[in-house]
Structure 1
Amino acid sequence: MNNKKAKWLIYTVVVGLIPILSRLFSWLVTKDNIIPAFSASDFIAFGLVLHISIINEVEHLSDIDASWKTIQNGTSISFIAFYSVLYTFTLLAPLSEVTDSNVITGCSQVLSLVSLLISYSVFDRISKLYNNEEVAV
């Protein structure tokens, strides 16, 4: 694994997983599991971290196709909007019988997995770009 991908894995993925792992650990160590094992808000935070890191990284690239950058930024902004809607549903779930917390959690889990795959593909391309530049130097 090259340096760019290793930094992405440690600084973005591992740090983004802290809320999920903390909740899971709390669930494991509490009696009667009074804390739920998973929460939609933790997965939403993870997805937001992934997409914000994509936007930040892509914006600082100068030698890459402008249309690819636009597509990646647009995709990340779209996902951030989806996460915002899901987060609003997490706020409304306790107040409304119309929303189902389990469905919201499931949607946020699936969406964060898709975000992880997108983020991996973006950072894989960026790391290959950096590797090619290092070889050419």
Structure 2
Amino acid sequence: MIAPNNKWLINALLVGLIPVLDRLLMWAATTADQVHPFAASDLVTLGLVFHLLTLEQAARMLLNTLSTLFITCYGVLYTLVILSERNTELIDVPFVLTISATLCVGSTAFGLIISQITKQRQ
């Protein structure tokens, strides 16, 4: 049987990966590189899901503050991605993709740490 903390992590990962998997499916189904296989907006969504679910799980003020900070960063990144779709010269898309990927790694690590902390309390 899967522990409740692991269920949370699995659910967060599955829900957060939906945009990434959708884009990969679109990329595989299209021709002539019309769709890029990875986009910052998908990684931002993954990070937002992790932190929104972490906010629900977190019991301490510091954890809520960290989650809120990450959510704010993801909101800014998402705005930059939307702006880059309207004006490709305005935003450095590879930089935003790098920052998004870095934040997603941090979000995943944060989620794992929260999962272990809550697991030890039970």
Q: TM-score, normalised by structure 2?
A: 0.89
Q: How many residues align?
A: 121
Distance 1:30 1:89 in 2: 26
1:65-116 CA deviation, whole Å, 9 max, x = no partner? xxxx111101000111111111111122132523111211121111111101
Match of 2:116 in 1: 124
For 1:3-82, what aligned pairs fall within 5 Å after superposition?
Answer: 3-59=3-59, 69-82=60-73
Given that 1:16 and 1:49 are in contact with CA atoms closer than 8 Å, whether structure 2 keeps it comes out as yes
Q: Identify if the C-alpha distance between structure 1 residues 48 and 129 changes in structure 2 by more than 3 Å, giving closer, same or farther.
A: same
Aligned 8 A contact 1:47 1:83 in 2: yes
Distance 2:40 2:111 in 1: 19
Alignment partners' CA distance in 2, 1:97 and 1:47? 25
Q: What aligned pairs does 1:80-119 form with structure 2 within 5 A after superposition?
A: 80-93=71-84, 94-95=86-87, 97-119=89-111
- Find the counterpart in structure 2 of residue 134 from structure 1: none
**Where has structure 1 moved over 2 Å in runs of 4 or more?**
none
- Please give the TM-score of this superposition, normalised by the length of structure 1: 0.80
Cα distance in structure 2, aligned partners of 1:28 and 1:106:
23
Range 24-33 or range 9-18, more displaced: 24-33
Task: Check conservation: 1:48, 1:83, Cα contact below 8 A.
Answer: yes
Unaligned runs of 5+ in 2: none
1:27 and 1:37 in contact (8 A); partners too: yes
- 2:98 maps to a residue whose letter is G
Deviation at 1:45, TM superposition (A): 0.8
Larger Rg: 1
Gaps of 5+ in 1: 60-68, 131-137
